[in-house]
Structure 1
């Protein structure tokens, strides 16, 4: 039996999500922009899905734009808000952001923007004081992730967003990894933009959403027929939007129970492998994330040996799989390149059991020894 511990890369599609999508892949196939009954049925389903995602985020339906996933949502927020800003051409991101944010910021830099990359501490945290020190009158946007996809560190977004709000700067957070685990009420977070991805929530790949607060200007990435309130032109993927809505309506996992299993697993690995080091914040981390470095070993060889034993894990972000470069997240946290290349990430949901994790920990100990 395979034990799948790479849910930070993708989750299995939920059965109830598939069942919700099926009618819109078969009988109710209309274009939601069409002015006839077939199109009207599709439009109603799309707007109902929009309301579900809005409710999940404590937002208004008109503030939700359906996208192709987290990468597009991040691009639309970072590029769109910066390009539409009348404040200036300065953008702030953290050094541990997902590549979708970092590469969007790099693109803006090539267009003449100035980008400040905030450093992090050894646990991957951004301090409100560090953010306050770099904000300027011409800062157009701050983008800091809610939770890190590699090491699981959770940022104090309400505190960071409050710093930006004091200066009147829009704040975007990439909540792709935290969705389903942490509170994403946008009012409590204090953010003006937030990114979601369906396939981290049990929906299919290729669908996501962007929350964009009212009266937050943003230049669209895609121009055309003016769909999605002229924020994202192109015929909407109604079935995928319905699937995302079903995923966010689903019962939320017991984060506290998963965190207990995570901590037991971490303790077992650290006790059995003397050289192993936990990466990320030991307390403020995602419930289903346990990430380590194993100095003196190759992270790639460990994950291959584990796969031979039926355990599927990763060495970090799936977006950089196959790259010889060390993780930018780990090097930003102060690890040297050689140690960063020994990283192994274990991520899981509620389907995991204590017995499975004990088996995996024993396999890790055996492989490393």
Structure 2
């Protein structure tokens, strides 16, 4: 069985990252590589780009006979993902039910920052482990902080391997927090422990303390399984075959995000495989080209003089805008060449004059193929 390759797509907001990621996945699928595109972003950008009903489980996405049966998409829902992850993590149905019935499980899942990303990365690792796909494309949330997930496996391992987890699980004897009140303890260590427990109890209440204790107790029961997943994920994210694509655009803000993300990868000992300048090549739309040809080939004689002058002024303005954008793209490419680490490819993708999202994905998939990236 061939090894699944992971490509991670990162970038700031407004650069077309999700559409570009979907197009990359389509280009891979057209090469008859079984490809899954999955997103960390809880927004529905991926479904919009693919023009398909994408949800919690991986579903096939059709773009025609050259990719049918090869392209799949998954867009985890935060709440359902947490339950799916817990189902995988807790093989014992009794222990699993005990966890899911715990109010603290719901509260933490809804309130802790990074839980959705952490769970999605776990589901991603599960998909890679399954061996069902040749390629997996991970579309991250549109943020210059999108690479924070690189630290999750290590931080999780630190928690799971710490003695403090077992201590937290033992808070208030897990099942009987009433012992805090009914059975006074003696000794300096027990005195200190009881003070901490009493303090936590004042913050969350005794019932909340009981629920938290039970939650940590459940985590202790499966921490080896969870730690094994975290280790595999840490290895996967740093595997030499894993690719990081930074998506940008020829604007000042987007270029600043590219520089920040490249430096962030470097701090983690990683380099981007490619920096992608989206909307770099921009030909005039077909409607504008038709209008120019009409005016240049005698059509102007059939148009009112005032209208003819107005159309020519409009075309001159549009032409100046195209020139300005092309110059901005050229300067952006020069800047990327200067900041890109050795071995990083610079990929230019065109601005696509389409309104329908699927048409944009198809056009960008063609551009990916033309760039020799798959």
Structure that is richer in helix per residue:
2
> Structure 2 length normalisation: TM-score?
0.22
